[in-house]
Structure 1
Amino acid sequence: MRCQPRYKGQVYIWLKNKQHCLLCNEPSDTSQSICTPCETELPWLGDHCQACALPLPEAGLTCGQCLRDPPAFEQVIAPWTYSFPIDSLITRFKHAAKWPYGRLLAELLAQSLQHHFDEGLKPPDALVPVPLARKRLRERGYNQAAMLARWLSDSLEISCDENLLLRTQDTTAQQDLDAKARKQNLLRAFALTPNAQIKGRHLALVDDVLTTGATAQSLARLLIGAGAARVDVYCLARTPKPGELT
């Protein structure tokens, strides 16, 4: 006995639906919500520092700041520089709850990371989103870094661990401070959760933008100090100006 009725008509399949590009609104020629011309014109990160991903004039170099004081994290992976239209897409995702933009950027970041893995980069044991301050989380209603980490986890089949880090203090927004103030702002801002499993693990911090690297540096130091074997940083974009990591 069949519990489902027979139906010989055409069935609507969502995955075969033609999408429109989120940038130009023209029909997309790919399976994603961005067309090939718009994707090509994105501000892709070119030659950059091997550690912090700061844009540099030649490949295979390490910036002066990272040579003077090597960061606690091993490597930053970022597909783009923080310029138009990436800056606009991130801002709309982060502050206006335009989640389709975030999902698209996460898909493209996952493709970039998979390429690095295919080229020999070792995948991490877990993705760890940068925690958001409680006050800002209440105001915004979501943590954009956690959303990115979950989408990356689904695409790359790497576990997402949101229970390792805590933001213990509500601090001034980092973009409103200079490099020295950023460092002071982050003192004692983060902590490990009770019974956090850190020792011997290769972890990757996930965030939207790396500016001076102060947040990534603070969290990497915390994780390495707790016994992590390696900490990488995965983010959507890197600002094109140098900053102080320490």
Structure 2
Amino acid sequence: MPVTNRCQRCANPLVPSFPRRRESRLSPRSDGDENTCEVCLSYPPSYDTTIFAVDYTPPLDHLVLQLKFSARLPLAPWFAERLRDAILARPGLPLPDLLCPVPLGPARLVERGYNQALEIARPLSRLLGVALQPALALRQLDTRAQSGVTPHERAENIRGAFAIADPDLIEGRHVGLVDDVMTSGHTLEELAATCKRFGAARVSNLVFARTPPRA
């Protein structure tokens, strides 16, 4: 199980720090600044929270790779069950109004034959009783895989990659972005920013695995 002392926004581990000066704080949050890391306080992401089921570490990272690259689709409902448990373990956190899987680009979807995020989102939708919008987000650019570029290139690589097919579906609503793994967070940040630009009131990342930060 992942450690619980995590930032409510990005799900990176919180580190002990000296008390923050009041004048350095941004707008107050309902959960309290003590649950938000210094990075998210200084540079608030477009998404409002991140919920994940497991750390992306052995042996579970191998299961993610098997779903993603080896078409082990029966793993997806198991991932969804673990993610459902993690979501319901956060009392007081509102469920999304709809689920939106992170889309693949057209070329990668043809190559792979399926979208692993959608395969997780389908059973998760049934488990939570939350509507699934499988084609809400569109990947309008076939970007390079984030794993194939350096950490410093990832934000630029994914910039402008997404569009929203029907903005009316998200205006004023809480959108849950579903993905298999969150590493740097740039892909989810770009999609969350796109959702907010089209009027989403709140965006939550719902990911099976979270990559621990490098030491």
- What TM-score, normalized by structure 1, do the two folds share? 0.76
Q: Distance in 1 between matches of 2:166 and 2:129?
A: 26
- Residue of 94, 101, 104 corresponding to 1:122: 94
Q: Residues 44-55 of structure 1: matches in 2 within 5 Å?
A: 44-55=2-13
User: Counterpart amino acid of 1:69?
Assistant: Y
Any conservation in 1 of the 2:139–2:162 contact (CA below 8 Å)?
yes
1:141 CA displacement: 0.5
Q: Which residue of 1 aligns with 2:27?
A: none
Label 1:194 to 1:57 Cα distance change in 2 as closer, same or farther (>3 A).
closer
Q: Which residue of 2 aligns with 1:207?
A: 179
Q: Which residue of 2 aligns with 1:224?
A: 196
Superposed CA deviations along residues 136-170 of structure 1, whole A, max 9, x for unmatched, are: 11111100001111110011111101132100111
* Percent identity between the two aligned chains: 41
Q: Residues 84-163 of structure 1: matches in 2 within 5 Å?
A: 84-116=58-90, 119-163=91-135
Any conservation in 2 of the 1:128–1:161 contact (CA below 8 Å)?
yes
Any conservation in 2 of the 1:45–1:78 contact (CA below 8 Å)?
no
Label 1:45 to 1:96 Cα distance change in 2 as closer, same or farther (>3 A).
farther
User: Counterpart amino acid of 1:121?
Assistant: L
Any conservation in 2 of the 1:89–1:102 contact (CA below 8 Å)?
no
What CA RMSD, in Å, does the superposition of the two structures yield over aligned residues? 1.7
- What TM-score, normalized by structure 2, do the two folds share? 0.86
Q: Distance in 1 between matches of 2:195 and 2:93?
A: 20
- Classify the secondary structure of the residue corresponding to 1:232: strand
1:195 CA displacement: 5.5
Segments of structure 2 that go 5 or more residues without pairing to the other structure are: 17-33
Superposed CA deviations along residues 69-125 of structure 1, whole A, max 9, x for unmatched, are: 000110000121110111011100111011222221211111221222xx1111110
Q: Which residue of 2 aligns with 1:75?
A: 49
User: Counterpart amino acid of 1:212?
Assistant: S
Question: How many residue pairs get matched?
Answer: 198
Q: Which has the higher contact order (CA 8 A, sep 6+)?
A: 2
